[in-house]
Structure 1
Amino acid sequence: MTLYYSLVFLLLMAEMALFMVLILPLPFTIKRKLFTFISENPIVAKLQYGLKITFIFILILFIDSVNRVYRVQVELSQAAEGSNAGQIMGHERLEVQARKFYSQRNMYLCGFTLFLSLILNRTYIMILDVLRLEERVKKYEGTTDKNSKDSAKLAEAGGAGEIARLKREISKRDQDIETLKKQASGLHKEYNDLTDRISQQDSTVKKDR
């Protein structure tokens, strides 16, 4: 096995171990602290970004291995249908079968690694939703503990889209407030000008009298 496929195999083992950790029946408090740490730690965020790039390369390896399996299969079919089909039973056939085996192994290795990454991502999101719902139930029951701050951060990690929408609404409201301030400033200036004009007119009337 080449070096990069060995690294893919190690990544597959790490994904399996992480999946086992995610599905362990841990207590609610420990699980909440664990997922809060995962969602907030900057090192974990950088690691997730690096893994996304790694999975792109694994996808390229998967496509290449599928292509190799297809080419070996075509080569076997052409050799079996050729005029010298009886001569392919020797060393050449063993070589082609070995190439087919290695190509299929690499295809399954990369495919299962990519598939398990999708399962891990979905499992992580589902556990975040479950923790958020459990915290909401505890809050309704009046049994929320001192770690409500961690649960709030966990809810923010699971609802990034909602936070972005609220930020856009806040920005829009801020723009409306700035517009109202400008209008109020203009009205105040006009009021002062009008007050000055009335004062001048009153002073002129008094002088005429």
Structure 2
Amino acid sequence: MTFQWTAVAAFLYGEIGVILVLCLPFISPLRWQKIFMFPLWSKMAVLWNKMFLTIIVLLIVLFLDAVREVRKYSSVHVNEKAANVNSSAFDHIQMKLFRSQRNLYLSGFSLFLWLVLRRTVTLLTQLAKEMASHAALETQVNDATEAAKKYMAENERLQEALSGKGDSKKKESTDATEEKLKEEVERLKAELQKTSNAFHKAKTEGAAVKKQSESLRREYDHLMKEFEQLQQRLNKAEDKKDL
């Protein structure tokens, strides 16, 4: 195996190991974020995108070269098999084909796992940020809940205090209403007494007027009788004169 493919194989094994470590369940994303925040990683983060693109380009070039080698030795393998050449040459071609296929798998899986590794690190970072924000939101919610409970308790105490004051005010207003009603009753009694006195006075005056009218009627009857008597006397006197 040449140096370049040895490096690709080592890179592939390293990718597999790193991905397995990143997938360990007992290491939380928050801990990975703390690890990624080390000064060493902070310095490497500046060159991370450039290094990622460079490795992508190298792996793509190696993958295309491996594809070319596989196609070349596959066609040669078919031709040599058809020509029935000696076994040593045929074995050599098979060895070349095997190595080219191995290199194809190494470069292909290295390229694929490199993309998976980049995506895994990105998702772990995002998940750690979401977990941190979720923890902060939970803390805020708990604080808000405690504050709301405290305000509700204070509100209940204020309502109880206001209800006590309201009862005393209601009692005072009831007493004032009773006093007003008593005053109104007294005033109505006084007016009723005045009306009763006026009625009795009017009744007395009516009785006096009735008595006066009776006396006037009797006086009128008496005068009428006297007038009739005088009229009769006058008529008799005139009759005597005529005779």
| Count of aligned pairs | 140
- Of 55-64 and 111-120, deviating more is 55-64
Higher relative contact order (CA 8 A, sep 6+): 1
Is the contact between residue 72 and residue 100 of structure 1 (CA under 8 Å) also seen in structure 2? Answer: yes
> Who is 2:153 aligned against?
none
Instruction: Output the amino acid matched with 2:81.
Output: A
> Who is 1:30 aligned against?
31
Does 2:130 correspond to 1:129? no
Instruction: Output the amino acid matched with 2:70.
Output: V
Instruction: Report Cα offsets for 1:76-123 as digits up to 9, x if no partner.
Output: 222334xx33x35x1111011001011011111111110100110111
Does 2:101 correspond to 1:104? yes
Q: TM-score, normalised by structure 2?
A: 0.51
Instruction: Output the amino acid matched with 2:10.
Output: L
Does 2:6 correspond to 1:9? no
> Who is 1:190 aligned against?
none
- 2:37 aligned counterpart, secondary structure: helix
**Cα distance in 1 for residues equivalent to 2:91 and 2:8:** 26
Residue 72 to residue 61, structure 1, CA distance change in 2 (3 Å): same
- Identical residues among aligned pairs (%): 24
Stretches of structure 1 that go unaligned for 5 or more consecutive residues are 145-209
Deviation at 1:131, TM superposition (A): 1.3
Larger radius of gyration: 2
List aligned pairs for 1:76-87, cutoff 5 A. Answer: 76-81=77-82, 84-85=83-84, 87=85
Is the contact between residue 39 and residue 45 of structure 1 (CA under 8 Å) also seen in structure 2? Answer: no
Stretches of structure 2 that go unaligned for 5 or more consecutive residues are 142-243
RMSD across aligned positions (CA)? 2.5
Q: TM-score, normalised by structure 1?
A: 0.59
Does 2:70 correspond to 1:73? no
Structure 1 residue ranges, 4+ long, deviating more than 6 angstroms after superposition = none
**Cα distance in 2 for residues equivalent to 1:38 and 1:121:** 20
Is the contact between residue 69 and residue 103 of structure 1 (CA under 8 Å) also seen in structure 2? Answer: yes
